[in-house]
Amino acid sequence: MRVTGSVVVIAVLSGGDGAGPAHRFAAAGAAGLLVADPRPGFAEDLAAELDRPGCPVIGVSSDIHQPSDIAALVDTAEKHLGPIDLFCVAGPDGERIVALAELPGHLHRLAELLDPLGEAIGEVVPAQRQVPRAARIDLAS
């Protein structure tokens, strides 16, 4: 995966951390970053810290669980940074990167992006804990 010269969107999920990937992408030569974090002020502070000539960084408060939020991120990134090359989802169990060049290319870009982002979210969010069988209440008795 080529990072140098790439425009990268980093979407942070609840319990995730975007600072690590943002620092790594910036150090690897990204051409621009958009960081979206659901916690107000976090992405904006990170953007102010990392923004520099050659790699502008935009921070927004956003949650990517809704297609409309993803659409807004795509629009904002493309308006200010250019076409997106990589979309990183940072969750409590790690990160997953979707390279837009790997998408089919025959559908609307947002439609193509929703499915792999859904998969990425599923990979970086801890599986819900199941109640052990012995602790379940049997309502039939």
Note the pLDDT of residue 19. Answer: 96
DSSP for residue 124 = H
Relative to beta strand 57-61, strand 32-37 is: parallel
**What pLDDT was estimated at residue 127?**
64
d(CA 28, CA 6): 10
**pLDDT tens, 105-132?**
655 666 667 777 787 777 777 765 434 4
Place of tokens 């960081």: 35
Find, among 59, 57, 53, 48, the residue nearest to 25 by Cα: 57
Q: What domains are defined for the chain?
A: 7-125 (3.40.50.720)
Nearest 5°: phi and psi at 67?
A: -55, -35
Q: Supply the pLDDT for residue 130.
A: 39
For residue 129 the two structure tokens come to 């804990």
Average pLDDT, 10 consecutive residues per value, the chain (141 residues): 91 92 96 95 96 95 84 91 92 88 66 75 65 43 40
